[in-house]
């Protein structure tokens, strides 16, 4: 492949990725505008709308300088997962998971470090950035 073709492909990917990210950003703000708390309480609705907007602004601001398409794809996947889970359960907050300490099967005598690595790898996609921001 010639260099010009590679540059063209990269710019297409960047444009598509940029459009996808901006579309997600707009989708989140539309979702926040129309959001209704499952409890029906106005105070809860306001808090949840503020949470959605704050979380979106914080994460998009944090990741605005990413250039690696793999990392951008992970962030987009996380965003989509959080939107879909939030809509399905009518809760904007990430659903926590519970893994008891040393709950993952050890690999023959490997200790805490391997447990921590497996715990990090087993974290669902929708919680990847939650611990970093919260």
pLDDT for 27: 95
pTM of the model: 0.69
For the stretch 55-84, pLDDT in tens is 999 999 998 888 888 888 888 888 898 899
E-state strands within 2-107: none
For the stretch 12-63, pLDDT in tens is 556 668 889 999 999 999 999 999 999 999 999 999 999 999 999 999 999 8
Q: Where are the domains of the chain?
A: 3-97
For the stretch 120-129, pLDDT in tens is 666 666 666 7
Q: Which residues fall within 8 angstroms of residue 66, CB to CB, at 6 or more apart?
A: 72, 75
Among 74, 91, 86, which Cα is nearest to 125's? 74
Q: Which residues fall within 8 angstroms of residue 97, CB to CB, at 6 or more apart?
A: 123, 124, 127
Three-state DSSP class for residue 67: coil
User: Cβ atoms within 10 A of the Cβ of 45, count?
Assistant: 15
């Amino acid at each position: 492949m010639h260099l010009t073709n590679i540059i063209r492909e990269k710019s297409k990917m960047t444009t598509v990725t940029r459009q996808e990210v901006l579309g997600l950003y707009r989708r989140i703000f539309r979702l926040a505008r129309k959001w209704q708390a499952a409890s029906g309480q106005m105070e809860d609705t306001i808090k949840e709308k503020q949470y959605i907007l704050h979380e979106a602004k914080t994460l998009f601001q944090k990741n605005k300088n990413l250039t690696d398409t793999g990392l951008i794809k992970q962030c987009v996947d996380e965003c989509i997962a959080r939107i879909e889970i939030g809509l399905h359960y009518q809760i904007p907050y990430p659903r926590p998971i519970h893994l008891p300490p040393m709950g993952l099967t050890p690999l023959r005598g490997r200790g805490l470090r391997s447990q921590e690595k497996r715990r990090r790898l087993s974290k669902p996609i929708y919680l990847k950035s939650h611990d970093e921001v919260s």
